[in-house]
Amino acid sequence: MDRKVAIFGLPFLLASILYETTLAETECFRVDWTKENSRRWFPIGTIFYDGDSLEFVFNQTNYNVVVVDKLAFETCKAPEGAFEYNSGDDTVPLKKGENYFICTKRGCCENNMKMMIDAAAGQRPTKMEETEQVRSGQDNQVKSWVKLIGICYMVLFF
Ligand SMILES: *[C@@H]1O[C@H](CO)[C@@H](O)[C@H](O)[C@H]1NC(C)=O
């Protein structure tokens, strides 16, 4: 029951938790939601992940953003009660899999104001992992060891 040693172990746990949260990166993509921009919302090859979000920026006189399903996406007919964003600067979270958005103001969906995003499962690789692929395995090991040391201290001495 040595509290001093237990308190000594605490920073290890906190460090590993902190380390883990910095690994969970998400990205917010700005969408210039205009008719002129349709069909090329994002650069080719953009990869979206579960937990990323889109910031739709638009003129609310002409446009809105409605969250729909595949059928509504194809037919441009939003079901009753579909959620509508209409502030003109709306941040919308992406969920895993296919995300469908259409504009339902007069004629805009038919003018290709619609978007489908297929968000990948899991987390976006960190910049560190992207640039130092080889190191990422070691980082996970370090993370595990730091956590293990922290837990050992807590269990043994608290
Ligand atoms: C939004 O669109 C309307 C109609 O086209 C236009 O009159 C208005 O100036 C626009 N607002 C902004 C902030 O661009």
Give the pLDDT confidence of 102-131 residue by residue, as tens digits: 999 988 999 999 999 999 998 887 766 655
Triad 28, 30, 31: Cα angle to 5°: 135
CA of 34 to the centre of ligand 1 (A): 12
For atom 3 of ligand 1, the residue with the nearest CA is 61
In the chain, the amino acid numbered 154 is: M
* Distance of alpha carbon 149 from alpha carbon 140, whole angstroms: 14
Is the pLDDT at 151 greater than 80? The verdict is no
Q: Which has the closest alpha carbon to 68: 116, 132, 112, 1?
A: 116
Which among 9-18, 100-109, 149-158 has the top mean pLDDT? 100-109
When pLDDT is averaged across residues 2-11 and rounded to a whole number, the result is: 62
Q: Is the CB of 60 under 6 A from ligand 1?
A: no
Q: Is the CB of 106 under 6 A from ligand 1?
A: no
Q: Is the CB of 62 under 6 A from ligand 1?
A: yes
Return all residues near 29 (Cβ < 8 A) that are at least 6 apart: 42, 46, 48, 52, 53, 54, 55
Is the pLDDT at 134 greater than 60? The verdict is no
Which helix or strand (DSSP H or E) is residue 118 part of? strand 114-119
Do 93 and 55 meet the contact criterion of CB atoms below 8 Å apart? no
Tokens representing 71 are 């059928």
* Distance of alpha carbon 26 from alpha carbon 52, whole angstroms: 5
